[in-house]
Structure formats: structure tokens, C-alpha cells
Amino acid sequence: MSLWGAQKRLAKGGKSKQMKEEIPVLKGKTKKELEELCVSLGLEKYRAAQIYTGIYKSRYTNLDQFTTLSKEAREKLKQHTSYPEIELGRDLASKEDGTRKFTFYVGENKEIEAVWIPSGDGGRKTICISSQIGCTLNCKFCATGLLEYKGNLHTWQILDQILQVERLVGDRATNIVFMGMGEPMHNYFSVMKAAHILRDQEGFGLGALRITISTAGVTTGIHRFIENKEPFNFAISLNHPNPNSRSSIMDVNDKHPLDKLVESAKRFTKELDRAITFEYVMIPDVNMGRDNAERLAKIARSVNKCKINVIPLNTDFTGWRRPTDDEVKDFVMHLKAKTTAPILNRRSPGRDINGACGMLALKGIRSETR
């Protein structure tokens, strides 16, 4: 039973708020938090390490599988804690590239999506996960921005996307990207807590550089990331190099203007001594002119340690169209002529199931003729 389902049933008796306050969720907790919980329940402190590895490393699906714990300890955990799962709503498989998109229920009338993205050679297996229910921003090219924002995800709900997707596909991820629904910097603490559990060798055991955190340009979050010396990869969804035009497609630019965003990127590369990634959705007649290529190259040169991922537009609800292959080649050619930064033309896996970049909006199979 999901936690929200149980709360819904208890709500008839007016107890849903009490349940939320009184019953701690085991998933999403750090080892230290589990130690404090064990002590509060009268269990030995060292039991926390067994619970921690059981959740994240062994990927146990219920408390009965924690056989390193005594039966009495398991019963106590069943009585005083919760071990919920987000609920699968839909599982769509691409006929083109092996991508799978999963819709999950995280509360009544609250849905999110996560995407399994295998590489062509099978070596890289990425899960793109969500950090919010809907989004606080309104990027014109992103379908998620059309959805109503219904709240931040808890750490356990972020991590459970990975646990559920891995179980459903029968494989484990090699990489995690926080590029699904929502703005990760607007749910900073839950996102970073999840990332550290993913990185921990006693947790999920992924290397820090196999985890990428993204932002549409929330500079306050970037500065916090730098000050905390976070070890993870970092990506900025730039999408327009003209400060006057960027606001027309990304409302985040009104509060966090492009010049401040570029300064935060410079600080990132200088203080953390790591490259930063600029994501650039290519939209014909909007941001693909030669002047745009030159401006983008200038930004890349000023930041110094960076790479640029160019992404053909995937959505069409605005009336904009996807660029042709020739238009992409021309833009990239002019970009390469002005900067030595690595440029990657990212493919768009999962387009036929509305699972590609910018398409997560709780929709099913694409019906238009392509």
C-alpha cells in the first residue's frame, strides 16, 4: 500500500495529519537519521546500517526481507514506521530506441514521470527523474511548464523513482539525471539529500560524476551548490544567449537574469575547478541565428571550462517546429567556429512516447504523423 493511499483511507476518520506527523518513512533517510530513529524506537544504533544498506544497496521491497534484523526488530519497524512505494500508473515503451517512460502516482491527483534511457550500445543506462510535481517555472518549450505545480517531492519519492524503474526494467542504472519534471533548485535540500544517498558506496553506490543536477537558471541554488562544494555534475538549461530575448522563452530569466547566471557559471568553474554543461534547445527562428551562435560561443569562452549540449526542439504545442538536420548542422558549424568548447548534439530518445527532453507532461503515445 502506498503512503498516500493509507493517508486517504485514514482521512475518513480525520487522522491523516496525525499519520503524516507520527509515522516516519524509512526510505529517504540518511544513515544518521536512521540511527536517531533506531535509538528512539529502542533498537540498537548499529541496526541503522543494516536498514540503510537494505533499502538502498539491496533494494529490499518490504521489511520482511531485512533478515539481518531480528523478527522483533522488524515487527517494531512495521508498527512504528512506514515503508511506502510510489504507485505505477503507466509504463510506455518506445518502439524506436528502447526508452521507457513511467508515470507514477505520488498522491491523490498527483503524478510524476521518470524515464529509462539506455544507450545504443547498452553500456550507459540513464534514469531521468523528477524533483517536483509539475513545475514552478514556465519555459515556453517545455510541456511540464503547462502543468499545475502541486508541490515538491520528498527525498524518498525522488529515490523511489529509481528503485521502481530499476525493478520494472530488470536492470540497474549507471547514471542519474535530475532533468525530469520540476526545477531541482526549487527543491534543493531534498534533491541534494537524494544525490548524496545515490553517491554513497553504502547506499546506491554511484559515483558523483554519474549524477547530474540541472537548473533552468536559479542562481541562488547554483551559489549554494558551489558554497557546499557539491561533487556532482551540473547543467544549466541556457537556451538563449541574448539577455533581452531569453525572458521571452524562460520566465526564470526575469528573476535570475542571464548576466548573473553567467557569473554564477564562471564562479562554479573557478571555485570547483570542474566543467559546467550548458543545455541549449534549438528552436528555428527563435535562437538559432548566427548572432545567437556567436553570443553562445562568447559565453562559453568566458566561462572557460564548459561543454554545450545542443538539443533539437521536441515539443510543438507553441507552434514552433523542430529544426531540420541541415539547420542543426549549420548552427553547430557556426558555433564550433567561435569556441573550442566540446559540443554534443544530443539525440532525443523516447519522442514517440513523449519521453524526450521537454516532453514530460503526463501524456501517452504521440499521435501526430511524423
Is residue 115 within 8 A of residue 127, CB to CB? The reply is yes
- Dihedral sign of CA atoms 268, 269, 275, 278 in order: positive
211 within 8 A of 232, measured Cβ to Cβ: yes
Q: Is 131 annotated as a binding residue?
A: no
| pLDDT per position as a tens digit, 219-234 | 999 999 999 999 999 9
Catalytic residue among 85, 111, 113, 279: 113
245 in a known ligand binding site: no
pLDDT band at 347, cuts 50/70/90? confident
All three cell numbers of 303, joined, read 566561462
pTM of the model: 0.91
pLDDT band at 360; cut points 50, 70, 90: confident
187 is in an annotated binding site: no
Tell me if residue 113 is catalytic: yes
pLDDT at residue 15 greater than cutoff 60: no
Annotated active-site residue 128? The verdict is no
Q: What is the pLDDT of residues 82-128, one digit of tens each?
A: 999 999 999 999 998 899 999 999 999 999 999 999 987 778 999 99
Residue 281 — φ and ψ, nearest 5°?
-80, 120
Q: What percent of the chain has pLDDT over 70?
A: 92
Tens of pLDDT, residue by residue over 141-158, are 998 988 999 999 999 999
SS3 content of the chain, % helix, strand, coil (to 5): 40, 20, 40
271-305, pLDDT tens digit by residue? 999 999 999 999 999 999 999 999 999 999 999 89
Which member of 38, 128, 306, 357 is catalytic?
357
Over the stretch 197-208, which tens digit does the pLDDT of each residue have? 999 999 999 999
Q: What are the chain's domains?
A: 31-80 (1.10.150), 87-353 (3.20.20.70)
Residue 341, pLDDT above cutoff 90: yes
214 is in an annotated binding site: yes
> pLDDT digit string (tens) for 298-311?
999 999 899 999 99
